[in-house]
Amino acid sequence: MPFRKSARTWRLPVRAACSLAALLSTSLVAAPTAAASELAPFEAVDQFIGTEMDTTQNKSNDAYGNTYPGAAVPFGMVQSSPTTYKPGPALVGEKGGYEYTADLIRGFGMTRYSGSGCTGRYGGYEFPVIPFAGHLDNDVLPVDPSTNIKDYYLGFDHANETADPGYYSVDLDNGVSAGLTASARTAVSTFDFPRSGDSTLLLDVSGPNNRTFGSEVTIDPETRTVSGWTYGVDVCDNGNYYKTYFSTTYDRDFASYGVWKDGGMTAGATHVLKSTDDVSVDYRHDTGAWITFADGAKVTSKTGLSFVSVENAAENRDREVGRAGFGTVRDRAARLWKDALSTIDVDGGTDERRTTFYTALYHAFLHPNIRDDVNGEYLGYDNKVHTVERGRHFYKNFAGSGWDMYRSQAQLIGLTFPKVASDINQSIVQLTRQTGSWAPGAARMQGDNLQVIVSTLDDMGATDYNREAALKSMVSTQRLPATRTTRTDGYQYLATGMIENRKGDFATSRVLEYSIDDFAIAQLAQRLGDKRSYDVFMARAQNWMNVFDPQTRHIRPRERTGFDRNFDLRVREDGAGRGQFNQSTGYQYGWLVPHNLAALIEKRGGIEASTTALDVLMEQLDAGAYTQTGNYLSNQPAFSTPWVYNWLRAPEKATDVLYRAVEELYDTSPSGLPGNDDQGSLSAWYVFAHLGVFPTIYGTGDLVVSAPMFERITIDPVGVDRRDIRIRAKGVEDGKRYTTGLRVNRAAQSATWIDARLVRSGGTLDFSMSATPGTWGTGAGDVPPSYADGTDARNNAGTTPDGRGDLGSLDLSDWSLSRESLAAAGASPGARLPIAGTGITFTWPDTAPGTPDNWIPHGQRVDLPNTRADSVSFLGLATNGPAAGTATVVYTDGSTQRVPVELGDWAAPASAGNTALVTVTGRNNTAGPSTDGTFRVFATSPAGLDPGKVVDAVLLPEGSDRGVMHVFDVATQGS
């Protein structure tokens, strides 16, 4: 029987008057006594890992984790932390959080994005507070912060810092000792001023990382309360605007106070406001307040945060923290972290390895964040106040709109916090209800990545959400006429199954991302019994084949007139502004078909050729994206590449790459994260690398197996009974790194993958380990699954009703054939179209408007009646053509015959080898019908076959030269 432990309960405060202790049950199961040399998980966390930028590297994204050593609880709303400043180049000087080489602190803010990119446009850092120990002249600050805020920045030394999960402190150069801790929605801080001299706190309310358009501060000296709000822009400054509210109480009376605004300071004033609806401005530091205490004061502040109102911020503070002192709140936060970190208990490992592992686990649990207040209210994506269902939480901050999160971090949460995962899924459902779309605001990255998160977590057992509503929204938003999709160039993609390279904006990688999105939708549809939607989206899941170039055997940008074979796949940009691969190169993106790697490997020339190509990629594990053939494992698109070796029957090579990666790219230094952690995604990847399993088939909870890097691992998810996973790998400590055998729940298996039932039900994995590779996992039947359904389906909607040109596109210029004109010419749905004198008769596709009616060839199999035939012909046309390729006739005896296929341009008269079988005047466009021009559908001249053999099927060309080929039907003489 699998090893079991009792479940615990994860509870952030939900509309109940309870202390922080109610966040998580404290009825913990005692862990086995660890060896004296082992660091406990809590003590192993080093919050300074990832805080230093490695300026010696130029990988196109920062070689910088952009983490912070602040105070937060798992998935909490508040992240109380210092933000640093370093004079000099902005690349290092004013990072979005904490940069280790800096020697100045800008202040202590309440919010932080851990690991975000967008240099110079970082979000967060709401309501920074600066302790000032200098003299005030007539109760007025010596320098106006609105014009010279840098004069108040604080010198410090790392020797005077301390950080634990949920806690940070520093002794500043000005003599002030600052301490930070937090509950879910409240920051609790202490400021111990020098015995002599003034004790002042500057409240730089308009001073977050990104631009602000307004703020308000109100001082109430009678209640020792300061409250207000800031209106600003979110991370990356790309159009997501929001308001945050705060309410702070202090345990000491105010000796004096005042406000500043636009170069003027007013002592004794209790209110300041500056705001506009003009989001082109930047009001940073323009307004704020100061409060002064008795000389040498030691002040404790409690600041509630809310995205709804000042009143809610105050209620969050009072109900979460109340009268509890700093030490009590710190202890509660520590207990939460100890429980969270115990979800994965590992035995063995050096102090350094345990430090990097548990620090990574810590970082992976910082996001996403609850947005509901203790009374259940939250501000929805529709800017209306909603109330979350009792017992649940509403989450926001999905890294990169899910682009970063779906590749590792979401799965780690699903593995360890199933209830949080279900609440994440329900939060996403609420997003779709409030907006009618799947975009959580202005897009930061491409793809409907939240759909992948929902489907993946669902398969991992996070099903306590409205699954039917999620699927209904997926299906209804991802169909023609593409008016509800938020996918960039969604109309072209949904109609043609590709995005031409001239669209730019990383068009080629978007086809790969959208294919993954569609696969995820198909998998959810299958689980819910929706066969029709499953078929539709599995066909779209194979759209990656439309950008696979059979001549160069690589995923490549495609123009309407053919593949761009001059594009340098080594680069992120081609120098002409036509970026084709988002944050990576074509070599790195060339393996991003996680749901059908078997087909990709076959198209790349088979196992040997693919292994050679993957070996080249792995020669450099973190080369970046500037003129490189190497990998980029510090960025998300390459995350799954090590496990591709499992499909190549070489799991030992995956193990070698993973060991190299964790040893070469990660360490315990401040620069020990190789890239932006993106709210925990790099850290989650690092954790999975050690577990010996990785959920690389996005949209499912299937686990691909490598080799554990600890001898014993217990995964004990919070809030569920009998779902723990126990992993044993004896000998790892002695250098036995290769898996040579595996038992899943005591049953031996050679397959290098485990389906999601293990995650949903728990169980045991017993690994046999060796210092040298064996034959385990190298058989043809040992490879992980590839999902080929939909490969042979029609993939282009090329005919539209008059007046509804938005229901299809044939030529990538939004033009389509009129269904009414086709019917008038004899090509109504299901009509029979003979080629005179040949015995060949085609059937016009009987398809509904807005659904695929022809094939853009990539090697699809077209099954035919098993009959003997003298000849075969193809019904179709080319856009921006002509277009030629080679089809393959498959006989029932297993033999094949290659048949050249060439189809003329639909706007040109028939050329040699073609007969215009259907001719129409005019065509449709999204802008409306046009009666100009004559357009044709051709039949190719019948190609002779072996009359003594029975035709089984025809394989369409793997691709075509010049224009885009479209095939409506294939027929043989007598069929």
pLDDT of 819-858, one tens digit each? 999 999 999 999 999 999 999 999 999 999 999 999 999 9
Give the pLDDT of residue 18: 33
Give the pairing type, strands 344-347 and 840-843. unpaired
CA distance 411 to 409: 5
Give the pLDDT of residue 19: 31
pLDDT at 960 over 90: no
pLDDT at 13 over 60: no
% of the chain residues with pLDDT over 70: 95
- CA distances to 73, 200, 721 from 187, rounded to whole Å, are 11, 19, 33
Residue type, 680: G
The mean pLDDT value for 333-358 works out to 97
The mean pLDDT value for 243-267 works out to 97
Confidence class of residue 122 from pLDDT cuts 50, 70 and 90? confident
Give the pLDDT of residue 383: 95
Q: How many residues does the chain have?
A: 975
**Is 83 strand, coil or helix?**
strand
Give the pLDDT of residue 569: 94
pLDDT of 894-924, one tens digit each? 999 999 999 999 999 999 999 999 999 999 9
Confidence class of residue 4 from pLDDT cuts 50, 70 and 90? very low
Give the pLDDT of residue 56: 87
Closest C-alpha among 146, 128, 134 to residue 272: 146
pLDDT of 547-600, one tens digit each? 999 999 999 999 999 999 999 999 887 666 668 999 899 999 999 999 999 999
Burial per residue of 718-744, b for 16 or more beta-carbon CB atoms within 10 angstroms, e otherwise:
bbbeebbbbbbbeebeeebbbbbbbeb
- CA distances to 170, 215, 235, 377 from 124, rounded to whole Å, are 21, 15, 7, 21
Residues 6+ apart with CB under 8 A from 794: 539, 845, 847, 852, 853, 854, 855
Closest C-alpha among 694, 712, 714, 692 to residue 703: 694
CA distance 735 to 771: 6
* Residue 894: strand pairing partners: none
Give the pLDDT of residue 2: 32
- CA distances to 75, 329, 762, 787 from 10, rounded to whole Å, are 11, 17, 19, 36
Give the pLDDT of residue 55: 85
What region does 850 belong to: left with phi over 0, alpha with psi -120 to 50, or beta?
A: left
How wide is the angle at C-alpha 717 spanned by C-alphas 716 and 720, nearest 5°? 115
The mean pLDDT value for 33-52 works out to 81
Residue type, 162: T
Confidence class of residue 94 from pLDDT cuts 50, 70 and 90? low
Confidence class of residue 713 from pLDDT cuts 50, 70 and 90? very high
Of residues 519 and 54, more confidence is placed in 519
pLDDT at 23 over 80: no
Give the pLDDT of residue 633: 97
Give the pLDDT of residue 413: 98
Confidence class of residue 26 from pLDDT cuts 50, 70 and 90? very low
The mean pLDDT value for 685-708 works out to 98
- CA distances to 468, 640, 913, 930 from 920, rounded to whole Å, are 43, 49, 20, 12
CA distance 685 to 713: 16
The mean pLDDT value for 731-751 works out to 97
Confidence class of residue 653 from pLDDT cuts 50, 70 and 90? very high
How wide is the angle at C-alpha 185 spanned by C-alphas 284 and 715, nearest 5°? 120
* Helix (H) or strand (E) segment spanning residue 951: strand 950-955
**Is 517 strand, coil or helix?**
helix
Give the pLDDT of residue 461: 97
Q: Is the pTM of this model over 0.75?
A: yes
Mean of the per-residue pLDDT values of the chain: 93
Confidence class of residue 6 from pLDDT cuts 50, 70 and 90? very low
Give the pairing type, strands 344-347 and 712-715. antiparallel
pLDDT of 919-943, one tens digit each? 999 999 999 999 999 999 999 999 9
N- to C-terminal Cα separation, the chain: 58
Residues 6+ apart with CB under 8 A from 96: 66, 83, 112, 113, 116, 118, 122, 123, 124, 125, 209, 235
